[in-house]
Chain A
């Protein structure tokens, strides 16, 4: 039967409405709330990485000190007094130096509530104190619970856990990025070379890659780190002598060269996988006609690889980098956790989750172990959610409701 034919539209009417980019972005954001969450998390991670000094309330390596009051004088004392009585003598120990205000005294003996002391070595002014004056001493604020002063609490050396977590983000980000930069660069280079040139080069590279990929990742990583991480390893010596990479503290990261070496190690493990994937992509790009054309025009292999092959696999490489970055961060945390990677006192999330902190977690001091792990989980979660959102946006089939679905929606 005849259908009604709509009147043809003019060009302006037919063109899709122009929606400003910002509104489009907002709409996308509303449809993918998890992706937004992921983006936020990564933004926090990156800012912690760059602005750790600004964001962290304390130095992650320094113990924090407070003055603890232990007891109160129960009777006034004056310059002549060498025996005090206190209301509650808990925690005072022999040889301990305590103070009443700024006057230093050394505890010589405790019998019940009576404390025999030695007043300051060079006493210039006789001072008297009233009953109720507090005896205290400056001490390190160890193992304090999360509070307003230390939102994540302090660890066994009085270091602020929040600051350690923030600087841990910097370490994780740094290691992750150096590892991925190195690994993806080396891997892509090998992949392009291997895929394009083929023949012997391809065989050699592919067999080596196969050998690397034959190891389970953690085991390979442990082995690599053991080999290159040593103080006298060739890699380390090479880096120390020939590059300007600082060996001590740099960018708030102590022992910088070590961190760098660990990143290289992780990068090596990543490079193999990248090489294989890139090679596959190059193999298909290689078949394109314009490659043949370029060759016919006399372009050298190097030029073809650089100008034609590489740009075509660039998108893939970027995706690979974004997938492997969280894996690199996790890998560093795992090996530091096992004791092989970053070592204390460098604030690494993995290293902070093990050792004495683990023992303390059993007796109720959960915060030194909990927060680094939470941060790590959030970071990986963020990356995964972001990755999911991208995939959803680019591949509608997987979205379900709008796609082919169960086939019922015919």
Chain B
């Protein structure tokens, strides 16, 4: 069965009411069970049911108009190499080597690079298009991007003081630009995650002339992407104008792309409902999204697995050093109830690698079998380990306006109390900045609830188990497992995907019986709502596997609106 076709239908599907009621593949048990269900299984209810229209691939885009997207985060700065609050905007203004299809986890060469050669694991050679020209304004007006621009951008990204995660650029040995359209670099050490990383929003290719003229691009932009910076008021409104000479002319279809910043989620929702903007912009829970799903003549709702998954870190000292205690904790947690209460009944269990990463995660059934809910056994284990009663301080960060971490912590505590498991969780809320600086980084905790961010590469989630840790300067839980370290290092250097999968699965199977140093919980489903007159192209997802005969561009180029 064509797996990608199944995934195309699962991911980012438009939902009709019947599909949700029919409890479609939303609760699917992952790749393995997807095979059991078959392509025509319960997951098929979505397409073509109800009052639905033809898929976007059958419609003809209309040029012109504006789309307004809501944003929860103020965009304090839009320098792609350093500003983390500019995501969503910088990807529209700048050009990248290639795009990334999150669902098939493959590079899509629809941007600057047309070809990729990989003669050996350390050498990367990209052939780039000659016709990616800059905006009509700025130091590099109307000039095409060259390989030199690539080199300068990479260098800047790799050396900027506060640029995130520099493991990849630090392993680059040398750059070469044999001609304007060939960009080559050689690495010192193999590093597979680089492939995914070069497609993320922080790796923008910026014209060297712009970099020379403007040391900081936080409040200004001169790029080559489909949209140009028009109006920029980061905490309020950002207006992007169409780049008239984008290499995918006549795209982008939209004349303007507007972002409106509403920092409070209920206000954002209210504005969306009354039609003040076209794309909601925040991830919704099922209960909040239900009204939009029900009104499927007005709204388009798509769903996507939430890549946000909190984990509980355990410091490897008494009592958590005893594996029986760790196992007891795992047994005492009722993961199904977390899915029911926190994730609106839709979700799956997470292993060391979260379940939506189908390529790398353990089969869902295996994970479910490994984490039964058995408070009696937990009590027995604790007794056996000699801890008739444990009081554990669990620190978690306060994220104002988004108490999902607090909610899960409360639920866990109540589960232990209800089942009379003798682990007394003392919840200790710490402000987010202080949490990172004073709790996590110095390893100052017994139990710490860490809200993990989306990763779609297996390397990062696994690095939490590495003795060097995520920052490279040590694992803040003090966990060390040399065998595991070897596996984790090996997968980061294995370019062959099948082999890498084997290593990753093996690593996870080594981690599971350890019941630590992280307790992984569950991951849910997020809903995205937009008004029906906005079309994203490509069946609802701009980055879906290109349908033969069509040619989908980078983010934003294929969007169009029926409204003027």
**In the complex, A touching B (Cβ < 8 A):** yes
With the chains together, A319 CA to B439 CA distance in Å? 44
| CB atoms of A93 and B22 under 8 A apart | no
- Among B26, B337, B364, B428, point to the contact of A139 (Cβ < 8 A): B337
B384 at the interface (CB under 8 A from A): no
| CB atoms of B42 and A63 under 8 A apart | no
Complex interface bits, B394-410 against A, C-beta within 8 A gives 1, otherwise 0: 00001011110011011
- Among B28, B269, B398, B418, point to the contact of A94 (Cβ < 8 A): B28
With the chains together, A354 CA to B406 CA distance in Å? 14
- Among A93, A231, A354, point to the contact of B23 (Cβ < 8 A): A93
A residues 32-70 near B (Cβ < 8 Å) are 61-63, 65
With the chains together, A111 CA to B21 CA distance in Å? 12
With the chains together, A362 CA to B284 CA distance in Å? 13
How close is B119's CB to chain A, nearest CB, in angstroms?
46
| CB atoms of A90 and B21 under 8 A apart | yes
Chain B binder among A8-16, A179-187, A247-255, A398-406: A247-255
B22: chain A residues at CB < 8 Å are: 110
Complex interface bits, B404-443 against A, C-beta within 8 A gives 1, otherwise 0: 0011011101100110000000111111001000110000
| CB atoms of B26 and A93 under 8 A apart | yes
B481 at the interface (CB under 8 A from A): no
A232 at the interface (CB under 8 A from B): yes
- Among B37, B337, B341, B401, point to the contact of A354 (Cβ < 8 A): B401
- Among A95, A97, A249, A345, point to the contact of B410 (Cβ < 8 A): A345
B27 at the interface (CB under 8 A from A): yes
B368: chain A residues at CB < 8 Å are: 95
B287: chain A residues at CB < 8 Å are: 143, 360, 363
How close is A198's CB to chain B, nearest CB, in angstroms?
42
How close is B206's CB to chain A, nearest CB, in angstroms?
36
With the chains together, A363 CA to B37 CA distance in Å? 35
How close is A345's CB to chain B, nearest CB, in angstroms?
5
| CB atoms of A339 and B429 under 8 A apart | no
B28: chain A residues at CB < 8 Å are: 94
A residues 94-130 near B (Cβ < 8 Å) are 94-97, 109-111
| CB atoms of A360 and B426 under 8 A apart | no
- Among A61, A65, A358, A360, point to the contact of B264 (Cβ < 8 A): A358
- Among A90, A158, A344, A358, point to the contact of B406 (Cβ < 8 A): A344
B400: chain A residues at CB < 8 Å are: 338-340, 355
Central interface residue in A90, A94, A249, A355, by most chain B CB within 10 Å: A94
Complex interface bits, B197-238 against A, C-beta within 8 A gives 1, otherwise 0: 000000000000000000000000000000000000000000
B288: chain A residues at CB < 8 Å are: 359-360, 363
Q: Give the interface size class of chain A.
A: 35 or more
How close is B434's CB to chain A, nearest CB, in angstroms?
5
A63: chain B residues at CB < 8 Å are: 341, 410-411, 414
With the chains together, A384 CA to B400 CA distance in Å? 31
B427: chain A residues at CB < 8 Å are: 254-255, 345
Name which residue of chain A comes closest to B282, CB basis: A359
B348 at the interface (CB under 8 A from A): yes
A91 at the interface (CB under 8 A from B): yes
How close is A169's CB to chain B, nearest CB, in angstroms?
20
| A and B contact pairs by CB, cutoff 8 A, 26 listed | A90-B21, A91-B23, A92-B23, A93-B26, A95-B364, A109-B37, A111-B42, A140-B337, A140-B340, A140-B411, A143-B287, A156-B407, A157-B411, A232-B434, A232-B438, A338-B400, A340-B400, A344-B403, A344-B410, A345-B409, A345-B427, A354-B401, A358-B265, A359-B269, A363-B290, A363-B291
Apart from A139-B341, A158-B341: 20 A-B pairs, beta carbons within 8 A: A61-B410, A93-B26, A94-B29, A94-B33, A95-B29, A96-B27, A96-B336, A111-B42, A157-B341, A229-B431, A231-B434, A231-B439, A249-B426, A255-B429, A338-B400, A344-B403, A345-B409, A345-B427, A360-B287, A363-B269
